[in-house]
Chain A
Amino acid sequence: MNGPLLLALSEGSPQNLSIFDPVSPPAESIHHLSILVLSITAGIFLVVESILIYSLLRFRRRYVPGTSEPPQVYGSMPIEIAWTAAPALVVFVLTLVIARTEWEVRVDPNNLSPELKDAKALHVRVVGHQWWWEFNYDRYGDEKLDFVTANELHVPASHRAERSERRPVFLTLQSVDVAHSFWVPRLAGKTDLIPGRTNDMWFETEHTGLFVGQCAEYCGTQHANMLLRVYVDSPEEFTRWLTDQKKEARGGDDAELRKGKEVFLAQSCINCHRVRGTSARGTFGPDLTHLMSRDTLGSGVIENDRAGKRLREWIADPQKIKPGCLMPAFGLSESDLDRVTRYLASLE
């Protein structure tokens, strides 16, 4: 996880999404609870299953119809009360533990504990779309932010031992179309993005690196490819990343790029996409201002190589790569395709 990020991207290298390997307080609290619940249920399983197997072994015999019957036992009040009371006790204890964990995991963003309140928190508004993620960076500590990016969430690493070094992340979750769910198992449990509602969640981790997840509420055709990537950067790296993202898009420096930009702005691309600093102001699709700062395209479905090879394939026909996605193939001529790709590949 701590190795170079590109390594994690290379084909087949395994990602870790286990809920039993948490790196953030909400996921950790859930992990503790899960161990307790698993132990209790394992205990019940062993007891009941052994009684069953013991009875099967001990009392199994061939019954010949009409022969003598075993003694008939109709019931017993004390026994019934015992096996009503014992599970009731377990339920009671479990409920108390669940309550504690619930309050740990779901903090109230308007009523934070002092440590979290003073921390240099990152606030991001996440908007679910069919089938990609929009990240609106609102605030980092006291600094107000105002830029939008997509599919790859960058957050700073925290240092929980020191109060001044804590950097929790608070997400506000909304949806513009159907229900989605934000799930990066090692950071936190899932929280749904429901149209017409605003939800929130938080996490905080000291581990830098890439944490993957994906949409966990069925949201239509390409639900399977609504992938999520959370990059936890060191605070310095994160600040550098912020500085880059805040800038407007690079203008087309040379003639070729200018031509590419012209084609881009003349096509219907701008109806859905935005490139800050140009007349492209669409909001239906991902913001492309710093497209090349992202490792993947199509919400994590393919790699975004520096040469723009996959990018060109994507623009040529997204339906081949992500069938059913809402971006159609525009039937650009080969030369236009080259120009647009070159322009977009310059948006670092």
Chain B
Amino acid sequence: MIESRITSEQLKPPAILPYRGLSARQWGMIAFLFSEATFFSTLIMVYIVYIGADAQPGGRGGPTPAGVLSMGLVIFTTICLLSSSATIHFAERALRRGSEASFRLWWAATIVLGIVFLAGTAYEWRELIAHGLTVQRNLFGTTYYTLVGFHGAHVTVGVIVMLILLMLALGRQVTARNPHGVELVSWYWHFVDGVWVVVFTVVYIVGR
């Protein structure tokens, strides 16, 4: 026994402080996004490892990032995606303030920006394939389509989920009193945008 005994009348446990941390669903979303982060880190590492591998002796040659990646389009789609982080933020704030109409507007804008991004990617891929860059052509194609494709798949999922929420909002099921879904989806969306910043840097700046 470390301390001497105290008489039982004195034994009042310290008061319990109320829990003020994040909610379970917020922790759940953070944990999920963490798993997504390690998933993308792996793909990004693989991309970095293979930068320039086609030009090595014994490499497959073929289109290079500098040769076929055009910056104009991707800068436009990047601006779209990044500004969608702002619009979703405004949407969430509008909902918290209780102005549901404004929420729906910003929310729809986010969806449109996401779709523009996807359309831009689709157009870019069509051009690249026309330049002869396919997944089979060389390691650049292999890693490029894998990384950008997995990111695009995440954007697609985000757009679909946002469409569902928009539908629910139109049915008055997402309201100022029930903003949790919106909050978590916006976290996901910010995350997907963040991943794009890294992908953009690695693919279009470092690897080009």
Contacts and interface: CB of A to CB of B under 8 A. Distances in A.
Nearest to B2: A74
Give the interface size class of chain A: under 10
B1 interface: yes
Nearest to A74: B2
A71 B2 CA distance: 10
A71 B3 CA distance: 12
What are the 4 A-B residue pairs with the smallest beta carbon separation, nearest first? A71-B1, A74-B2, A72-B1, A73-B2
B174 to A, nearest CB: 50
Nearest to A76: B2
Interface of B: 1-2
A231 to B, nearest CB: 34
Nearest to B1: A71
4 contacts: A71-B1, A72-B1, A73-B2, A74-B2
A79 to B, nearest CB: 13
Interface in A63-114: 71-74
Interface of A: 71-74
Contacts of A72: 1
Contacts of B1: 71-72
A71 B1 CA distance: 6
Contacts of A73: 2
A194 to B, nearest CB: 15
A74 to B, nearest CB: 7
B2 to A, nearest CB: 7
A330 B2 CA distance: 85
Nearest to B58: A196
Nearest to A196: B58
Nearest to A75: B2
A72 B2 CA distance: 9
A74 B1 CA distance: 9
A299 B2 CA distance: 70
A9 to B, nearest CB: 41
B57 to A, nearest CB: 12
A73 B3 CA distance: 11
Contacts of B2: 73-74
A175 to B, nearest CB: 15
B22 to A, nearest CB: 30
B190 to A, nearest CB: 40
A62 B132 CA distance: 79
B150 to A, nearest CB: 25
A72 B3 CA distance: 11
A158 to B, nearest CB: 36
Contacts of A74: 2
A74 B3 CA distance: 11
A139 to B, nearest CB: 23
A9 B111 CA distance: 76
A73 B2 CA distance: 7
A282 B196 CA distance: 51
A31 B1 CA distance: 50
A1 to B, nearest CB: 42
A73 B1 CA distance: 6
B12 to A, nearest CB: 20
A72 B5 CA distance: 13
B87 to A, nearest CB: 47
A78 to B, nearest CB: 14
A268 B1 CA distance: 86
B58 to A, nearest CB: 9
B191 to A, nearest CB: 35
B139 to A, nearest CB: 12
A252 to B, nearest CB: 40
A292 to B, nearest CB: 37
A71 B4 CA distance: 12
A196 to B, nearest CB: 9
A135 to B, nearest CB: 23
B79 to A, nearest CB: 40
B85 to A, nearest CB: 41
A72 B1 CA distance: 6
B63 to A, nearest CB: 22
A143 B1 CA distance: 81
Nearest to A73: B2
A71 B5 CA distance: 12
Nearest to A72: B1
A195 to B, nearest CB: 12
